[in-house]
Structures are given as structure tokens and as C-alpha cells.
Amino acid sequence: MINWRSDGEPEKLRDIVIPLKRTLKDLISSMKSYSTSKDLFYDGFTLGDNELITCLPPDQSLTFKNLCKEKKDQNRDPFDVILGIAVQLGIEQGRRIYKKYEKHLDI
């Protein structure tokens, strides 16, 4: 899993999106081969510190055990979980962009 830059700078969008695409491809591949009882591969960024207070890191959210728990407790399928991770990564990226430019904004 990739940690966010310690200097608070935003990441390149492709560096955030490419691991999510690999995870979606892994999900689709496992659905085609009927081997959905496995962990999904994720090697991208972890969540921001604020999200990690209440949410599991993506690599843990995508284990078979936790995907089953999400389905049972929240009725969320793996696509929902992956999209949720994407939103949370976008929130963290937005925070970083805001911090980078807030001194230039008149808010």
C-alpha cells in the first residue's frame, strides 16, 4: 500500500486511479472465473488520516472476510466498496490540493 506524501502535497491523479483500475480488473476477472471467494488485490494509496479513524485501509477492506461483512452488514457489494474507496481517496486528494493553494485563496 502506498502512503500519502508526508509533505502534504497532492498526488498525481493517475497514481491514484491506476491501482483502483487494477482492483476493478481483479474483481471482474474473479467474477469471470467464479473465484469470488478471494481477497481483491490493491496496491494503491491508503486513506487519509481522518478516514482511517473510522474506516479500514483499502487493502483490509478488500479482503474476502471484510467484503462478506460489508455485504451482510451494509448490503454493499465489492463494486460499492471500491467506489467508496475511490471517493475517500478523492476527499484526501482534495484536502491536499486545498492546503497547497489556500494561501492563494481569499476565503
Is 2 strand, coil or helix? strand
Per-residue pLDDT at 67: 92
Per-residue pLDDT at 87: 93
Q: Quick check: 105 pLDDT over 60?
A: yes
Tell me the domain boundaries of the chain: 13-30+40-104
pTM of the model: 0.76
Mean pLDDT across the chain, nearest whole number? 88
Share of the chain residues as helix, strand and coil, in percent rounded to the nearest 5:
60, 0, 35
Q: How confident is the model at residue 11 (pLDDT cuts 50, 70, 90)?
A: very high
pLDDT tens digits, one per residue of 60-83: 999 999 999 998 999 888 889 999
d(CA 45, CA 75): 25
Burial of 88 (0-12, 13-18, 19+ CB in 10 A): buried
Which element (helix H / strand E) includes 93? helix 78-101
